[in-house]
Amino acid sequence: MSTQPGQPRVRVTSSRRGAPHPTNRPVAEDVSEQTHLGEVYVAGLMRAQLRLAASVLVVGALVLGALPLVLTLWPQTRAYRIGPLPLPWLVLGVLVYPAAVAAAHFYVRSSENLEKAFVDVVNRS
């Protein structure tokens, strides 16, 4: 490249003089302003919580659904007694409620852990 006589040489230091400087935008702003990126993060949290809820529900349904199957396949379990109560009554009337409370406790703790991880990701950036 040659310069014409009489014209001073120009030094190019940046090809984008008027371009704004990139800024690091915190994810918390994206979430609070409901931008597309914030919606992606919130949708990820909601999917994780939905997956957790579905897994707790499926496990509960399988455990409760197995009782009629056990009683049908092994009829002698219907006659089995623990104290004055037959086994099916004991399972349905007494053992189901602590199991449901334990499942609910597990779900709440796991959901809170997911939310804590989400907040950590949002605040880290």
Number of residues that make up the chain: 125
Q: Is residue 43 part of a domain?
A: yes
Strand, coil or helix: 112: helix
pLDDT digits (tens, 9 = 90+) for 57-67: 999 999 988 98
Q: Is residue 2 part of a domain?
A: no
Check residue 12 and give its pLDDT: 73
Expressed as residue numbers, the domain containing 95 is 29-120
Q: Is residue 9 part of a domain?
A: no
Most confident of 1-5, 86-90, 100-104: 100-104
Check residue 14 and give its pLDDT: 66
What is the number of structural domains in the chain? 1
Unique residue bearing structure tokens 């040489």: 9
Check residue 51 and give its pLDDT: 97
41 vs 16, residue with greater confidence = 41
Q: Is residue 19 part of a domain?
A: no
